[in-house]
Amino acid sequence: MAGISFDDVTVTAEAAGGDVVILRHVSAELTERRVALIGGNGSGKSTLARLINGLVSASSGVVTVDGLDVSDEGPAVRRRVGFVFTQPAAQLVMPTVAEDIALSLRRLVPDKHERQQRVLSILDSYGLAHLAATSVHALSGGQQQLLALAGVLATEPSIVVADEPTTLLDLRNSVIVADRLFALEQQLVLVTHDLDLALRCERVLVIEDGAIAFDGEPAAAVDHYRRSVATP
């Protein structure tokens, strides 16, 4: 039961004027190593991604990761699923670069001294070692996103979900972050507006109005998405 499975998942959210449906009766099995979710703003693709680690709970239906029900085994699922967010600054929670990585390692490496060594070697592999004592707010957006990625991967997840990780970055930094993501051993679920990135995946889901509008080959999916935007 490796991989991610959505079984008839519906998500509704409270809003001022009553509940709104964000995802309706979505079913899918994601086992490919590189999966992209594309679609317009507000289509529900971020919510679909957030279901995978329990950031959003399904109102009905079942989400499982490697056979584990996300709603029953949240902590176990979150140890498997790493999540990279769009906004680099909001996911850095500790004052300095080294402390932020150390926070991720709290569970994995209980010994303080050993943890410090691990932090430095991780930072070194991202070319951030010289910034260990720097405030996370003094970093550029690209460096922040790399650090966030390093913090997520430090927990050694088996699946990485990234919600528009390159949207706020310049071209150069987008390329750096994207190359890091595509070099991962792990399964990658990538929410993106960057169609070039979608084309690098093995499978692409087009989300429209809370449902899967197309699911299949990247080239065909991107083509479907382009046409759905062109014709009103």
Partner 1 sequence: MTSTDSSRATTVSTTDLALIATFAALIAVCAVSAALPFGVNGVPVTLQLFGIFLAGAVLGAKRGFFTVVLYLVVGAAGLPIFAGGSSGIAQFSGVTGGYLFAFPFAALIVGLAVERAHRRNVAITAGVVVVGGLVAETVVWLVGATGISLYADTPLWATIKSSFAYVPADLAKLAAAAVVAAAVHRAFPALLTRGR
Partner 2 sequence: MRRSLPLGIYRPGSTIWHRIPAGPKLGLVVLASIAVVALRGPWPCVAALGVALGISLWARVPPQVVWRGLRPFLLVVAILGAFQWWQRGWPVAVEVVATTVALVVVATTFTATTPTDRLLDAIVRGLGPFRRIGVRPEKVALAFSLMITAIPAIFEIAHETREAAKARGLERSVRANLSPMAIRTVAHAYETGAALHARGIGDD
Label each residue of the chain as H, E or C.
CCCEEEEEEEEEECCCCCCEEEEEEEEEEECCCEEEEEECCCCCHHHHHHHCCCCCCCCEEEEEECCEECCCCHHHHHHHEEEECCCHHHHCCCCEHHHHHHHHCCCCCCCHHHHHHHHHHHHHHCCCHHHCCCEHHHCCHHHHHHHHHHHHHCCCCCEEEEECCCCCCCHHHHHHHHHHHHCCCCEEEEECCCHHHHHCCCEEEEEECCEEEEEECHHHHHHHHHHHHHCC
Shortest spacing between CB 18 and partner 1, in angstroms:
10
Shortest spacing between CB 221 and partner 2, in angstroms:
26
> Which does residue 47 bind out of partner 1, partner 2, none, counting CB within 5 to 8 angstroms by kind?
partner 1
132-140, 168-176, 179-187, 220-228 -> range binding partner 2 (CB under 8 A): 132-140
12 scored as a contact of partner 2 (CB under 8 A): no
- What value, to the nearest 5°, has the Cα angle with vertex 40 and ends 170 and 193? 25
22-30, 101-109, 190-198, 200-208 -> range binding partner 2 (CB under 8 A): 101-109
Of 145, 143, 144, 182, nearest to 160 by C-alpha is 182
Whose Cβ is closer to partner 1: residue 22's or residue 146's?
22
Shortest spacing between CB 73 and partner 1, in angstroms:
11
Whose Cβ is closer to partner 1: residue 59's or residue 116's?
59
Whose Cβ is closer to partner 2: residue 2's or residue 90's?
90
> Which does residue 137 bind out of partner 1, partner 2, none, counting CB within 5 to 8 angstroms by kind?
partner 2
74 scored as a contact of partner 2 (CB under 8 A): yes
Binding site for partner 1 (CB under 8 A): 11, 13-16, 22, 46-47, 50, 54-57, 59, 74-75
> Which does residue 203 bind out of partner 1, partner 2, none, counting CB within 5 to 8 angstroms by kind?
none
Residues near 217 by beta carbon (within 8 Å), at least 6 away in sequence? 203, 204
Whose Cβ is closer to partner 1: residue 58's or residue 178's?
58
- Positions that interact with partner 2 (CB under 8 A): 50, 53-55, 74-75, 78-79, 81-83, 85, 87, 89-95, 99, 103-104, 106-107, 135-137, 148, 151-152, 155
